[in-house]
Structure 1
Amino acid sequence: MKFNWGTGIAIFFSVFVLSLVYQVYRSTQYDHSLVSDQYYADDLRYQEHYNKLVNAQQLEEDLKIQPLADKATLELHFPRQVSALGGEIYFFCPSDQSSDFRLPVEPMGDGIQRIPTEELRRGLWKIKVDWTGDGKAYYKEQDIRL
């Protein structure tokens, strides 16, 4: 069999079409879910969120989110200057939406809330704390690896 320019063009286009078909197949296997199902309503509440961030920056002592050395417990150290705490802690797993969950803010008398994490999926988590105290709203977000 002789290899001429017509054979080269046919091989090139065949490989090109096969690679396109493969890419289309791979793109159908990817999960294209949104980060939030209510993205438009979330966008409208942005000013409220911004005010919470400003309030949190004005605190003398910041909310500290830290996993313990054994990574079996997560500790949230709330500022001592704020009392009457309430709100919500949102555990967001970027790689798996079904792993996300929410907990209420319920610190002990020392201002520390301990959350067991041994049952959680290993990897990156975004901890989003939307909390209130003394009539003001605050927000803190931090990435942790478990």
Structure 2
Amino acid sequence: MIMRISWGYKIALLYCSFVALMIVLVVKSMHQKIDLVSKDYYAEELAFQKQIDAGKNQSALSAAIGIHADAQNVVIEFPSEFKNESIQGKVHFYAPANADFDKDIPLATANNICMIPRSLLQHTRYSLKINWEAAGKKYYQETDLNLAQ
């Protein structure tokens, strides 16, 4: 004799399966790590116009900042018009994959070149956000750098 399950039990089984699936998804999502781009994004949003103006100042220069990585250092080369200028600022290494890899490093230039030891950084992809000031003007440039290779 074949036992038949009525349609009411089938609907109840389908509903219970759906509820169990939703519970599993909620529990898994609660254990997922979520990093914000910035911990204080609201204050940064209010100051964003200054960053736009600094980016326009950067665009008006004869050349962009040159960035490359060799075996030991990340080399940042500033345009030639700042050859004898004092350059102040910082480089923010933003790692989209993991907030623990983010670094803020002050600029220390010699002959328009700033060398940052690779030992301070992880082997990952970074978005460099360079803020600097020279001759009383602020500048900003953003570029990608892949150190995973």
Instruction: Please classify the TM superposition score into its range, dividing by the shorter chain length.
Output: 0.7 to 0.9
Q: Distance in 2 between matches of 1:112 and 1:39?
A: 31
CA contact (8 A) 2:54 2:140 kept: yes
Partner of 1:78: 78
C-alpha displacement at 1:51, in angstroms? 0.7
Partner of 2:132: 131
> Where do 5+ consecutive residues of structure 1 fail to align?
none
Q: Deviations 1:16-38 (Å, cap 9, x if unpaired)?
A: 01110011101111233432222
Q: Which amino acid aligns with 1:12?
A: L
3-state SS of 2:12 partner: helix
Q: Which amino acid aligns with 2:80?
A: R
1:1-146 mapped onto 2 (5 Å cutoff): 1-68=3-70, 70=71, 72-82=72-82, 83-109=85-111, 111-146=112-147
C-alpha displacement at 1:65, in angstroms? 1.6
C-alpha displacement at 1:105, in angstroms? 1.0
Q: Deviations 1:98-123 (Å, cap 9, x if unpaired)?
A: 222211111222x2212121452222
Q: Deviations 1:68-91 (Å, cap 9, x if unpaired)?
A: 3x4x42111111102211111111
Q: How high is the TM-score relative to the length of structure 2?
A: 0.86
Q: Which runs of 4+ in 1 moved over 3 A?
A: none
Q: How high is the TM-score relative to the length of structure 1?
A: 0.88
Q: Distance in 2 between matches of 1:122 and 1:7?
A: 55
Larger Rg: 2
Q: Deviations 1:21-61 (Å, cap 9, x if unpaired)?
A: 01110111123343222222111111111110000000001
% of aligned pairs identical? 28
> Where do 5+ consecutive residues of structure 2 fail to align?
none
3-state SS of 1:21 partner: helix
- Higher mean C-alpha deviation, range 34-43 or range 81-90: 34-43
CA contact (8 A) 2:35 2:98 kept: no
